[in-house]
Amino acid sequence: TLSDRLGTVFDRLRGRGALSEQDVRDAMREVRVALLEADVALPVARRFIDSVTEKAVGQDVLRSVTPGQMVVKIVHDELVEMLGGGDGAVAEGLNLAAKPPVVIMMVGLQGSGKTTTTAKLAKWIREKHGKKALMASLDVARPAAQEQLAVLGTQVEVATLPIVQGQQPVDIARRALESARLQAIDVLLLDTAGRLHVDQALMDEMKAVAGVSAPTEVLLVVDSLTGQDAVNVAQSFSGEVPLTGVVLTRMDGDARGGAALSMRHVTGKPIKFAGTGEKLDAIEAFHPGRVADRILGMGDVVSLVEKAATAIKEEEAEAMARRMAKGQFDLNDLRMQLKQMQNMGGLGMLAGMMPGMKKAKQAMAQSGVDDKVLVHMDAIIGSMTPKERERPELMNAKRKKRVAAGAGLEVQDVNKLLKMHQEMARAMKQIRKMGGFKGLAAAFG
Ligand code: GDP
Ligand code: MG
């Protein structure tokens, strides 16, 4: 797998300190081969490598992890990004909030798993959302295709549109809509016909069906085992029908993951679900984080690096607490505090976490501090010299002007920041007089 290959490369990355350009380039050569072997499209692989290289070169290696582990983490995060982003987040689900009947149209090649996925989704909609669903097969090309859906409907306890022989797909779609309206159906799933290969007749049929049914979701079903072919299919469809998402089937047998990696890049649409078996409950919301773990097979390394990063943050926080207890609080300390606020999800998140923080947030909001200001303040401190950060009293008019220009802001913004720092430093001194944080806790306890 990709992970076996990477493991040996990353083991060779030695030394301490920042990752060197040569180290990263050597590792990326292997990553590139591994990606291509996993059937990732060439342009996608190239973009991936560029992005990882840019992020990794010069990156400091955290204490207690090896440079190789550090690179694994960067590669992992980039994989997640490429698969749709979000920290273990679920790709957007289905949009079922539109005016009923909400139409979900399934498209794809023959054998990709459309009919099975239609039934899986119908079951999922009925059970997870408690909505009334109706399924209709528009596949008049394949013998017994409509009967196949009817059988699955019985299994998942979702109604199917009665079969009328001799009707064309567009007519069946119209009849399905009508029937859904009459029965007050919430969600109508249209299982369309496929072909062995993409052709114009298929595209015309899909467009006509979409034309009469105005689907809220058009899901492209592709077989992840077909790798690069799946990507080509996605490319053809995405130019012709207004896709809203992708379902990757046979993820239970997908050892390579290349299709998943290229899909987002090629269609620009999220992978919404993964089919993970033949059973009718074998469908999952697509988790980029989990799939990245699987491709890399190095989930343990990733969590190790995350732990190391947290430990260092904790050490930094403790060091700052010690400094503050001594009444020291320079602009470096302020900056670290701002960073932590941002890491915790900005001011809004902070207020939600700690009841006492609500007041602090209100005070900050009143003095015009919002999340954007956090970024501005960081930019201002970033434009100062180390000396200025340690000794803010050095900031004269000339220096303020230089720093404001460096941050792309106004001198008055610099003044605001300095004032805020002064107030906070004064508060720190106050706390110290009261016997440090222990005394503070006692006074409020
Ligand atoms: P269609 O031609 O696109 O409608 O494809 P079908 O829904 O008829 O599926 C073709 C075959 O693929 C059937 O045997 C399904 O059981 C199987 N299949 C569909 N989805 C999955 C999946 O996620 N995993 C596995 N292992 N098999 C699947
Ligand atoms: Mg079918």
**Domain hosting residue 30, numbered range:** 2-87
How far is it, in rounded angstroms, from Cα 77 to Cα 314? 22
Ligand 1, residue 276: give the atom nearest the CA: 23
**Are 165 and 282 within one domain?**
yes
Whether pLDDT at 353 is above 80? no
- Does residue 51 sit within a domain? yes
Q: Which residue has the tokens 């081969």?
A: 33
* Pocket-testing residue among 105, 112, 116, ligand 1, by greatest number of atoms within 8 A of Cβ: 116
Do residues 286 and 91 touch, judged by C-beta distance below 8 A? yes
Whether pLDDT at 400 is above 90? yes
**Are 109 and 61 within one domain?**
no
**Are 268 and 149 within one domain?**
yes
**Are 81 and 124 within one domain?**
no
pLDDT reported for residue 221: 96
**Are 122 and 71 within one domain?**
no
- Considering 260, 286, 312, which residue would you say is the last residue of a domain? 286
DSSP one-letter string for 75-86: HHHHHHHHTT-S
- Domain with residue 77: its CATH number is 1.20.120.140
Burial of residue 208 (number of CB atoms within 10 Å: 0-12, 13-18, 19+): middle
Q: Is the peptide bond before 392 cis (omega within 30 degrees of 0)?
A: no
- For 155, the token pair is 């299994």
Query: Helices 371-382 and 397-407: crossing angle, nearest 10°?
Result: 120
pLDDT in tens, 405-424: 999 999 999 999 998 888 87
Residue nearest to atom 16 of ligand 1 (CA): 278
Residues annotated within a binding site for GTP: 108-115, 191-195, 249-252
Q: What Å distances lie between residue 247 and 4, 107, 230, CA to CA?
A: 28, 10, 11
How far is it, in rounded angstroms, from Cα 136 to Cα 161? 5
**Residue type present at position 400:** K
**Are 158 and 251 within one domain?**
yes
Q: Of 251, 286, 250, 247, which Cα lies nearest the Cα of 267?
A: 247
Q: Of 189, 188, 440, 223, which Cα lies nearest the Cα of 321?
A: 440
pLDDT reported for residue 101: 95
DSSP percent split of the chain into helix, strand, coil, nearest 5: 60, 10, 30
In the chain, how long is the greatest CA-to-CA distance? 90
Neighbours of 154 (CB within 10 A): 11
Alpha helices in 326-385 (DSSP H): 331-343, 346-353, 357-366, 371-382
Neighbours of ion ligand 2 (CB under 5 A): 114-115
How far is it, in rounded angstroms, from Cα 47 to Cα 37? 16
pLDDT in tens, 78-89: 888 888 875 434
Grade residue 312 by pLDDT with cuts at 50, 70 and 90. low
Based on the structure, what is the number of domains in the chain?
Answer: 3
pLDDT reported for residue 149: 97
Assess: ipTM above 0.90.
Answer: yes
- Does residue 249 sit within a domain? yes
Helices (H) and strands (E) in the chain, counts: 20, 8
Length of the chain: 445
Q: Which residue has the tokens 């053809």?
A: 236
Mean pLDDT of 367-386: 81
Ligand 1, residue 148: give the atom nearest the CA: 8
Q: Which residues on neighbouring strands pair with residue 55, listed in sequence order?
A: none
- Considering 64, 87, 110, which residue would you say is the last residue of a domain? 87
Per the prediction, the chain carries an average pLDDT of 81
Give every CB contact of residue 20 below 8 A, 6+ residues apart in sequence: 57
Question: What does the DSSP 8-state code read for residue 281?
Answer: T
- For 136, the token pair is 């209709």
Q: Of 366, 367, 371, which Cα lies nearest the Cα of 349?
A: 371
Highest mean pLDDT pick, 43-47, 292-296, 423-427: 43-47
pLDDT reported for residue 34: 77
- For 55, the token pair is 């992020």
Query: Helices 200-213 and 169-182: crossing angle, nearest 10°?
Result: 20
Give every CB contact of residue 438 below 8 A, 6+ residues apart in sequence: none
- For 227, the token pair is 């790798």
- Considering 233, 257, 286, which residue would you say is the last residue of a domain? 286
Mean pLDDT of 372-394: 89
- Does residue 313 sit within a domain? no
Residue nearest to atom 26 of ligand 1 (CA): 277
- Domain with residue 200: its CATH number is 3.40.50.300
- Does residue 242 sit within a domain? yes
* Ligand 1 pocket list (CB less than 6 A): 108, 110-116, 194, 249-250, 252-253, 275-278, 282
pLDDT reported for residue 196: 85
**Are 331 and 425 within one domain?**
yes
- Does residue 27 sit within a domain? yes
Q: Which residue has the tokens 């300095």?
A: 418
Mean pLDDT of 194-218: 92
**Are 175 and 238 within one domain?**
yes
pLDDT in tens, 86-120: 543 444 578 888 899 999 999 999 999 999 999 99
Neighbours of 53 (CB within 10 A): 17
Query: 415-425 burial, b for 16+ CB within 10 Å, e for fewer?
Result: ebbbebbeeeb
| 58 or 157: which leads in pLDDT | 157
- Does residue 41 sit within a domain? yes
Give the rounded distance of the alpha carbon of 238 from its chain centre: 21
Which pTM does this prediction carry? 0.67
Ligand 2 centroid from CA 217, angstroms: 18
Neighbours of 444 (CB within 10 A): 7
**Are 106 and 218 within one domain?**
yes
**Are 66 and 107 within one domain?**
no
**Are 30 and 121 within one domain?**
no
- Domain with residue 403: its CATH number is 1.10.260.30
- Does residue 307 sit within a domain? no
- Does residue 291 sit within a domain? no
pLDDT reported for residue 418: 92
**Are 136 and 239 within one domain?**
yes
